Amino acid sequence: KSFLNHTAYLSCYFPNSQKTDIKDLRVFWQKGDVEVVHEVYYGQEKRDNLSPKYMNRTKMDMDKWTLQLLNVGVVDEGQYTCIIQHRDKGSPRVIHRSQCLLHIIANYSQPEIEWLHTGELKPNEYLNLSCSSRGGYPEPKQMMWLISHENTTYRLMDHMDVSQDAVTKLYNVTSKLNIRVPTDTLTNISCLLHLGEQLGSLVSVSLGI
CB 156 within 8 Å of CB 144: yes
- Residue 196 CA to residue 194 CA, distance in Å, equals 6
pLDDT of res. 19: 67
Are residues 166 and 84 located together in one domain of the fold?
no
pLDDT of res. 137: 94
pLDDT of res. 120: 75
Are residues 93 and 114 located together in one domain of the fold?
no
- Residue 69 CA to residue 157 CA, distance in Å, equals 39
pLDDT of res. 145: 93
Residue 1's nearest CA partner among 209, 202, 208, 198 is: 198
CA angle (162 as vertex; 156, 163 as ends), nearest 5: 160
Are residues 6 and 98 located together in one domain of the fold?
yes
Profile the chain (209 residues) by mean pLDDT over runs of 10 residues. Answer: 93 73 82 86 80 88 87 92 83 86 94 84 81 94 88 84 93 91 82 86 89
pLDDT of res. 138: 92
- Residue 42 CA to residue 60 CA, distance in Å, equals 14
Are residues 88 and 118 located together in one domain of the fold?
no
Contacts of 56 (CB under 8 A, 6+ apart): none
